[in-house]
Amino acid sequence: MYGHHVSLVLKHFALMWALSALSFILAVFLPSSIVLVVSIIDILFLLVVRFVRNLVIAEVFLYMIPFFTGMLFFWLAQFVISIGTAFLYSIFIGTAILFIFLALLGLKMLLYMTDGAAYIAASLLILVFFVFIYFFIPYKSIIYLLLSCFLVLALVLFTVHHFNLIRKHYVRENEVINTALRLYLSFINILFFSLEFLTGYKRR
């Protein structure tokens, strides 16, 4: 049952990133006012999930978070669109596909890999992904490309780290979707960790 439940976590995790990619594409065709409203709702959802402990949330709402988050990413992208539309959109869609691929790979391989092998496999996939962007997607500056590579690498390795922790513990059947959502929201943990680090650094 242990392996089965961890496999379910990865399936739900892949589905959540697929929903985010779908909503990101959908946001391109929606009025900006609707995207803004959905983004604000999603920010509220994320704050509740992040700070309210022992809160029981219906599964349908847990799946609304990754769907709404795709639109939130699209809305945030408008503030840095000067980097290049094709480059920016390919980074997000590519990252979503990367996570989906890692989850599907995890169903067959990562469960039996050592922690180090999982990090190496994820890093090699990121390398292939950014080599593809380097040759086929227009970008304005190599600095933007390297910065994007660093951010995606940090997000993926942080997520793999969480997965390594999850697969070493028993996951109950009623905790599968919540565990998958926590894995999906690794980028939120990185954001808060960065803010806490910067706040602590300024106080020194």
pLDDT reported for residue 77: 82
For all residues of the chain together, what is the average pLDDT?
79
Long-range CB contacts for residues 33-41, cutoff 8 Å, separation at least 24: 35/71, 35/74, 35/75, 36/75, 38/68, 38/71, 38/72, 39/68, 39/71, 39/72, 39/75, 39/76, 41/68
The arithmetic mean of pLDDT across residues 87-91, rounded, is: 77
pLDDT reported for residue 1: 44
Q: pLDDT confidence of 22, banded at 50, 70, 90?
A: very high
User: In this structure, is the dihedral angle defined by the CA atoms of residues 96, 101, 102 and 103, taken in order, positive or negative?
Assistant: positive
Q: pLDDT confidence of 18, banded at 50, 70, 90?
A: very high
> In Å, what is the CA distance from 176 to each residue of 33, 101, 132, 152, 166?
34, 19, 34, 25, 11
More confident residue, 201 or 139: 139
- The pLDDT tens digits of the residues spanning 70-82 come to 999 888 888 766 6
More confident residue, 182 or 200: 182
pLDDT reported for residue 140: 75
